[in-house]
């Protein structure tokens, strides 16, 4: 059974330091490659789906979170305020309030809707120190977030579009949703009032789930304080279930922030906010990928995609030339030469690298590579240029497949 904390250390992906603080991991170069690749994937998928990206600061005045309702309903999970020039500043517990302000900053017409605003941004949670560990319980979170401002008529379709993005991403990442949960409010005072709006939002989420053909279970007591949500659940190898992705329909925050857009009738109308996250937090997504794949990332995400293995010193120069060609194609490639040990030992050390290319005297002379795949298959001896082109195509197509027949 794979533990992402152990794998993260062994593979040199991330670590912590008591002086930085518990629950505040840092990313080492190989981990940073995985994270960057994942973030770029999400941004590209969002751009293709009509989202525009913004950046907003990771802190705001206390009044902002009083307005959003976080101060009343979520304060226990927030960092304490910092005093600054007679004002109280807070590390943000979510990105929604900033995006609502960005929407509000301009006059909005119905022609701009649905307005899909995305950000991969930092947010903070004051997790108790007892529950911190690895990347799954952290105090600084990088969230793949977006808010779609739309009319009530557009909300179910936008939520269904978000579900489609999520299912495409899971296929590309080689991970699986264990179930979809429709999270409804429960008893107790932690939810905002407004039963009619809760019913309306819940009905729209059911419409989105039905339109997507997704089976789901309704569960009480798991909603956000401001509205119901669809939670896409994942299960770790120990059988523990957590939420990775979410889709929410929210009538509450547009009211709190007084959001308006002009309609075709010239009058001012209130938009709905669809909150959605495709891969959840980058930390939790990488933790899950590590455990799901045991460190053998899909080729497009692997920190090193190709290792070139010269049999002897005479082939080292050619090995470096192959790595330069691979790098020029956008691949992440390395040479592991005789100084790193016997050929067998070098192959074993590269067992998580998707592609291994052995370079003996004959291959070096003829521009060939003896190709091995991480799963033990051997596509054979191929011209170097053809092999690199096929790897590059496979990486660009994403997904988990290592090789396709020519």
Q: By C-beta, is 94 or 356 nearer to Zn ion?
A: 94
**CB 172 to Zn ion: min, Å:** 24
Q: By C-beta, is 22 or 247 nearer to Zn ion?
A: 247
**CB 168 to Zn ion: min, Å:** 21
Residue ranges that bind Zn ion, judged by CB under 5 A: 96, 275
**CB 272 to Zn ion: min, Å:** 12
**CB 184 to Zn ion: min, Å:** 18
Q: Are strands 333-335 and 306-310 parallel, antiparallel or unpaired?
A: parallel
Does the bond joining 114 to the residue before it have cis omega, within 30 degrees of 0?
yes
**CA-to-CA dists, residue 309 to 14, 172, 362, 369, 380, angstroms:** 27, 29, 14, 10, 15
| 232 CB-contact burial (10 Å; exposed 0-12 / middle 13-18 / buried 19+) | buried
Cα separation of 357 and 390, whole Å? 13
**CB 42 to Zn ion: min, Å:** 16
Q: Where are the alpha helices (DSSP H) in 194-335?
A: 195-212, 252-256, 282-293, 316-328
Cα separation of 236 and 178, whole Å? 10
Please name the residues in contact with 72: beta carbons below 8 A apart, sequence gap of 6 or more: 66
Q: By C-beta, is 23 or 227 nearer to Zn ion?
A: 227
Q: By C-beta, is 122 or 133 nearer to Zn ion?
A: 122
Cα separation of 223 and 185, whole Å? 5
**CB 166 to Zn ion: min, Å:** 15
Q: By C-beta, is 16 or 183 nearer to Zn ion?
A: 183
232 closest CA partner among 177, 189, 286, 287 = 177
DSSP string of 333-365, one letter each residue: EEE--GGG--HHHHHHHTTTSSEEEEE-HHHHH
Q: By C-beta, is 38 or 96 nearer to Zn ion?
A: 96
**CB 194 to Zn ion: min, Å:** 17
Cα separation of 70 and 215, whole Å? 31
Q: By C-beta, is 148 or 319 nearer to Zn ion?
A: 148
Find the helix or strand (DSSP H, E) in which 396 lies: helix 384-397
Cα separation of 21 and 43, whole Å? 30
**CB 169 to Zn ion: min, Å:** 18
DSSP string of 156-187, one letter each residue: HHHHHHHHHHHHHHHHHHT---SEEEEEE--S
Q: By C-beta, is 27 or 149 nearer to Zn ion?
A: 149
**CB 111 to Zn ion: min, Å:** 24
Q: By C-beta, is 69 or 134 nearer to Zn ion?
A: 69
Phi, psi (deg, nearest 5) at residue 18: -55, -25
Token pair, residue 237, equals 């190898």
């Amino acid at each position: 059974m794979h533990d992402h904390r152990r794998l993260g250390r062994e593979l040199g992906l991330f670590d912590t330091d008591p002086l930085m603080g518990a629950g505040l991991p840092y990313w080492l170069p190989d981990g940073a490659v995985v994270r960057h690749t994942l973030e770029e994937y999400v941004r590209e998928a969002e751009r293709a789906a009509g989202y525009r990206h913004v950046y907003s600061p990771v802190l705001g005045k206390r009044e902002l979170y009083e307005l959003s309702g976080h101060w009343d309903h979520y304060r226990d999970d927030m960092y304490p305020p910092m005093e600054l020039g007679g004002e109280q500043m807070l590390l943000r517990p979510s990105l929604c309030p900033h995006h609502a302000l960005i929407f509000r900053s301009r006059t909005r017409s119905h022609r701009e809707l649905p307005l899909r605003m995305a950000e991969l941004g930092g947010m903070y949670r004051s997790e108790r120190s007892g529950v911190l560990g690895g990347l799954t319980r952290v105090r600084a979170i990088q969230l793949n977030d977006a808010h779609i401002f739309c009319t009530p008529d557009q909300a179910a379709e936008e939520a269904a579009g978000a579900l489609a993005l999520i299912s495409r991403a899971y296929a590309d990442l080689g991970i699986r949703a264990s179930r979809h949960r429709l999270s409804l409010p429960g008893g107790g005072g932690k939810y905002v009032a407004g039963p009619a709006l809760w019913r309306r939002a819940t009905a729209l989420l059911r419409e989105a789930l039905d339109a997507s053909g997704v089976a789901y279970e309704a569960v009480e007591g798991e909603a956000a304080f401001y509205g119901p949500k669809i939670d896409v659940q994942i299960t770790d190898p120990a059988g523990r279930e957590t939420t990775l992705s979410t889709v929410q329909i929210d009538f509450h925050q547009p009211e709190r922030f007084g959001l308006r857009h002009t309609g075709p009738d010239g009058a001012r109308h209130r938009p709905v906010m669809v909150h959605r996250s495709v891969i959840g937090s980058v930390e939790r997504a990488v933790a899950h990928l590590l455990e799901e794949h045991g460190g053998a990332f899909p080729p497009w995400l692997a920190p090193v995609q190709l290792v070139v293995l010269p049999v002897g010193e005479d082939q080292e120069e050619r090995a470096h030339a192959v790595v330069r060609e691979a790098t020029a194609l956008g691949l992440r490639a390395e040479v592991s030469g005789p100084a790193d040990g016997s050929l067998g030992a070098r192959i074993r050390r590269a067992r998580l690298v998707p592609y291994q290319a052995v370079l003996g005297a004959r291959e070096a002379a003829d521009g060939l590579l003896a190709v091995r795949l991480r799963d033990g298959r051997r596509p054979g001896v191929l011209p170097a240029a053809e092999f690199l082109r096929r790897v590059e195509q496979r990486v660009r197509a994403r997904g988990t497949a290592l090789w396709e027949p020519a």
